[in-house]
Structure 1
Amino acid sequence: MDTTKTIYLLDDDADIRELLVDYLTRNGLTVSSASNAEEFFALWRNAPADLVVLDIMLPGDDGFAVLRRLRQQSAVPAIFLSALDGSTDRIVGLELGADDYLGKPFEPRELLARIRTVLRRSSEATPSPPQGRLLHFGSWRLDTTARHLLTPDNVILPLSGAEFRLLCIFLERPQQVLSRDTLLALTQGRNAQPYDRSIDVLVSRLRNRLRDGGRYGTLIKTVRGEGYVLAADVRSEVLPAGGSRHTS
């Protein structure tokens, strides 16, 4: 899998960049690096990557600012690096659409393992609806080919990989209460950790996308002591290439 994957690494420490580019390249990835936001987006404009690794503490625009800007145009998987010890950065990163977070110092092989996990999770691990469909729920639609939301007023909202996976899980199980443990297992598989509250952050992020009023929302409801439920019927609209629309 890794031989065809391109990684962009953003870190202002030249020694770390050299070490990681060498190590990841030797392990089958194509890696390009940047030391600041301007260099990173120059790489991105030339050709998007399959995954990005972003240091949080940078001169000028920090990693959070870079991901905010990137999320306006892409749902590419992202991993944050940070030398700061604490949960705040991890939560902020998840809220912005990061897929993982790794504290410094770390072993290069741990970063490689996390990159492989995120790539696998994005492309294989989570079942998703077949491409070429619009999934209608409430007044919203999910385009499963483009992986974006269409708002009630027909505005396109890009989704991060984690947001898309979670929404697909809800859309495949409408009206079914899903526990936190179930959602963690379905989104992260064997990498899920007991008592991990990141799923609550991800649900909150998805609710914000859906303008769903937090814990008292009408689309994704909190079931006290049990988990979450998509409280809407789902209708699938097939969009064959060059053909007419059919509903099922």
Structure 2
Amino acid sequence: MPAPTGRVVMGVGSAGPQETTVAEIEARRSPMHFERIEAEFWERVRSKAQDKAREIISQAMAEAERLKATARDEGLAEGAEQARSQFETHLDEMGKAFAEILAVIQEDRKTLWASYRQDFVTLLRLAVEKTLGILLEERRRDILESLLDEALDIIDSRTDLAVTVHPDDAPMIEELLSRAAASRQGLERWRVKGDPSLTPGGVRLESRDGMADNTVDSRFAEVEQIMGRLRVDAGASPDDPGEDHGT
């Protein structure tokens, strides 16, 4: 195989093969040709760079929008959490205040019972003396007084206590009552009732039997059960030394 000569066959004419060299071809090219090629090259490079820059800028703008949206959502969530926390704190404070009010009401009821207790004892003693013809001696009076206190405690524990409000106010009062019961013992018997006849914002406190009548028959039945524990022999004399008057 002949060694390469660096010549290029351009074609075959009437005079034979037309040959030239690479150097001759390069020499025939003008400087403008290389400048145009270089300009086209840099134009392609510039176009690709611009496309890449636009892509990077677009991605950066999208990421910035995403970060702004995330920050906005987190800010809204944080604001909502702060508002919820403040609302819960306000409800707790209102619940504690409500508990104090109900506790004062219950304490006033106990004070009322205590103020009338002696009158109940005297009235009940007279009724028993008249009905059974028994004169209760001093010790039995003490026992009767103690048992009546027990009966009144039973009566008080079975009283149905209610906070009556307009139906629109009931959910809020129920929430306050729940918080009040959680912060103070003794409020478990309270409940909430709705009454459309009440003006919104108004409150009425009620018991099942009312403070005046108190269903005397049912309450006397409670006292009568305790009186049954006083096993007094109607035929025995109160001064009989053989009888134990403390039983």
Which protein shows a greater Rg?
A: 2
Structure holding more helix per residue: 2
Structure holding more strand per residue: 1
TM-score norm. by structure 1 comes to: 0.21
TM-score norm. by structure 2 comes to: 0.21
